[in-house]
């Protein structure tokens, strides 16, 4: 089957279940590191859950995931049964250039789209978020495929995820387990305490700090510290249907807005989706050739995750930026994305074309906000106070 058809969610799930059968993945870590005293010895573990069974992974093996577990020992901790993992083999997919970066981006969800060039830019942005560190927010009509490339990566790599209504508990959990990208949906529908935590998260990650410190929790409690090393944020929201619906600018104060680079993804409407691809029911199974196509996609993704490999392929592509920003945080995001646009482009003419598409997506967002009446919900004063 064509590689285009392989990115159907059901087929990616089939690949996941077949390739990672009996494999323990990073996204199966379901809690923070904990210490367990055994006699006089204190040992550290990460809790995991697979097939409804609780496991304890020795902390020293956390960077070896994904792994095949060869042996376990049954134990208990705080009246809860666990299988303590004692022997593993790492099954990380190897890095290998199976296609050019240009072909990698084109093949990744090569769907019919009302804005095909802008969708290419969006896939490059998603890959930049995985391989570098950026903070992006994007608005579009429903059905644009804003979070779809991220969802595919999340299923294949196991260390990035999109969550709805990001409460502080969800934020903390998904950052703690090591997700490289945290996609945030429905940010307008949170409780006050979660807005405050989310604002602090945006403040820290948007400033490219190494640690997120939630100092907005109740008095008498200690602020939580969560590692943001190699962490990117992507925030998604739709065009409002009415003046009563909110967007990012309605919720957060200018200090937050100036940290997260905004884009407007044109195409479609509330009634017609920008994505024109039609999916049917999945009835046929993946064969060996299909599995290899997905594996080659993954190997190539790992290859271009390596900054040394990227540096080699960028030799001779030292094309200058056509636009810059006085806001240094926005400029850092823009520059990181443009680096991957250079990697994608086969000529300076092509680079200039795609950089301009990226820049105009930002300009159009700013124009939209400038011409819109900004709502001021009650939470605004709390966040700005």
- pLDDT per position as a tens digit, 133-159: 999 999 999 999 999 999 999 989 888
Side-chain half-sphere exposure of 287, counting CA atoms within 13 A: 4
In this structure, the answer to whether residues 223 and 366 fall within a common structural domain is yes
Answer whether residue 213 shows pLDDT above 90. Answer: no
In this structure, the answer to whether residues 121 and 64 fall within a common structural domain is no
> Residue 169: which domain range?
94-385
In this structure, the answer to whether residues 50 and 130 fall within a common structural domain is no
Q: Using one digit for the tens of pLDDT, what is the confidence trace for 31-86?
A: 889 999 877 889 999 999 998 999 999 999 998 888 999 999 999 888 899 999 99
Residues 331 and 321: beta-carbon distance below 8 Å:
no
46: β partners: 57
Banded model confidence at residue 177, pLDDT cuts 50, 70, 90: confident
Banded model confidence at residue 383, pLDDT cuts 50, 70, 90: very low
In this structure, the answer to whether residues 64 and 172 fall within a common structural domain is no
Query: Does 5 map to a domain?
Result: no
In this structure, the answer to whether residues 346 and 271 fall within a common structural domain is yes
Chosen domain end from 72, 90, 108: 90
Strand order in the sheet with 181-185: 160-164, 181-185, 232-238, 135-140, 261-264
In this structure, the answer to whether residues 71 and 152 fall within a common structural domain is no
Q: Which pLDDT score, from 0 to 100, does residue 373 have?
A: 54
- Who wins on pLDDT, 217 or 297? 297
Q: Which residue has the tokens 């598409």?
A: 357
Q: Which pLDDT score, from 0 to 100, does residue 385 have?
A: 30
Q: Which residue has the tokens 């993804």?
A: 265
Question: Token digits for 195?
Answer: 């807005």
Query: Does 15 map to a domain?
Result: no
Give the distance, in angstroms, between the CA of residue 209 and the centroid of all CA atoms in the same chain. Answer: 17
Cα–Cα distance, 79 to 17 (Å, whole number): 31
In this structure, the answer to whether residues 146 and 251 fall within a common structural domain is yes
In this structure, the answer to whether residues 85 and 98 fall within a common structural domain is no
In this structure, the answer to whether residues 55 and 183 fall within a common structural domain is no
Answer whether residue 384 shows pLDDT above 90. Answer: no
* Arithmetic mean of pLDDT over the chain: 89
Query: Does 169 map to a domain?
Result: yes
Average pLDDT on 335-353 reads 98
| Contacts with 65 (C-beta within 8 Å, 6 or more apart), sequence order | 24, 25, 26, 29, 57, 90, 158
In this structure, the answer to whether residues 157 and 86 fall within a common structural domain is no
pTM of the model: 0.85
In this structure, the answer to whether residues 82 and 104 fall within a common structural domain is no
In this structure, the answer to whether residues 298 and 260 fall within a common structural domain is yes
Banded model confidence at residue 330, pLDDT cuts 50, 70, 90: very high
Maximum distance among all alpha carbons in the chain?
A: 68
Number of other CB atoms surrounding residue 157 within 10 Å? 21
Q: At CA 291, angle to CA 3 and CA 122, rounded to 5?
A: 40
Answer whether residue 363 shows pLDDT above 90. Answer: yes
Count: domains in the chain: 2
């Amino acid at each position: 089957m064509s590689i285009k058809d392989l990115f159907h969610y059901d087929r990616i799930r089939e690949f996941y279940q077949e390739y990672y059968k009996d494999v323990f993945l990073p996204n199966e870590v379901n809690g923070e590191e904990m210490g367990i005293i055994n006699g006089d010895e204190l040992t550290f573990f990460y809790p995991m859950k697979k097939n409804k069974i609780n496991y304890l992974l020795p902390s020293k093996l956390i960077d070896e995931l994904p792994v095949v577990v060869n042996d376990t020992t049954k134990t208990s901790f705080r009246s809860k049964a666990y299988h303590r993992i004692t022997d593993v083999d790492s099954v990380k997919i190897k890095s290998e250039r199976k296609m050019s970066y240009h072909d990698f981006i084109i093949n990744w969800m090569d769907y019919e789209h009302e804005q095909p060039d802008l969708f290419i830019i969006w896939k490059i942005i998603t890959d930049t978020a995985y391989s570098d560190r950026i903070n992006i927010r994007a608005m579009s009509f429903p059905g644009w495929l804003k979070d779809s490339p991220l969802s595919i990566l999340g299923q294949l790599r196991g260390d990035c995820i999109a969550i709805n209504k990001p409460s502080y508990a969800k934020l903390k959990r998904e950052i703690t387990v090591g997700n490289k990208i945290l996609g945030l949906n429905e940010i307008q529908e949170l409780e006050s305490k979660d807005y405050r935590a989310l604002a602090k998260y945006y403040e820290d990650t948007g400033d490219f700090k190494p640690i997120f410190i939630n100092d907005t929790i109740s008095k008498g409690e200690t602020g939580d510290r969560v590692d943001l090393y190699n962490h990117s944020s992507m925030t998604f929201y739709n065009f409002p249907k009415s003046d009563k619906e909110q967007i990012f600018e309605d919720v957060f104060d200018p200090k937050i807005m100036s940290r997260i680079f905004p884009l407007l993804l044109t195409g479609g409407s509330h009634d017609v989706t920008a994505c024109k691809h039609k999916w049917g029911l999945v009835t046929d199974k993946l064969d060996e050739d299909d599995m290899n196509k997905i594996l080659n996609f993954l190997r190539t993704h790992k290859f271009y995750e390596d900054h040394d490999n990227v540096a080699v392929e960028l030799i001779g592509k030292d094309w200058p930026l056509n636009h810059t920003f006085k806001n240094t945080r926005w400029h850092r995001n823009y520059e990181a994305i443009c680096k991957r646009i250079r990697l994608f482009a086969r000529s300076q003419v092509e680079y200039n074309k795609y950089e301009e598409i990226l820049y105009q997506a930002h300009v159009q967002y700013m124009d939209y906000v400038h011409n819109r009446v900004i709502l001021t919900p009650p939470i605004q004063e709390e966040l700005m106070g």
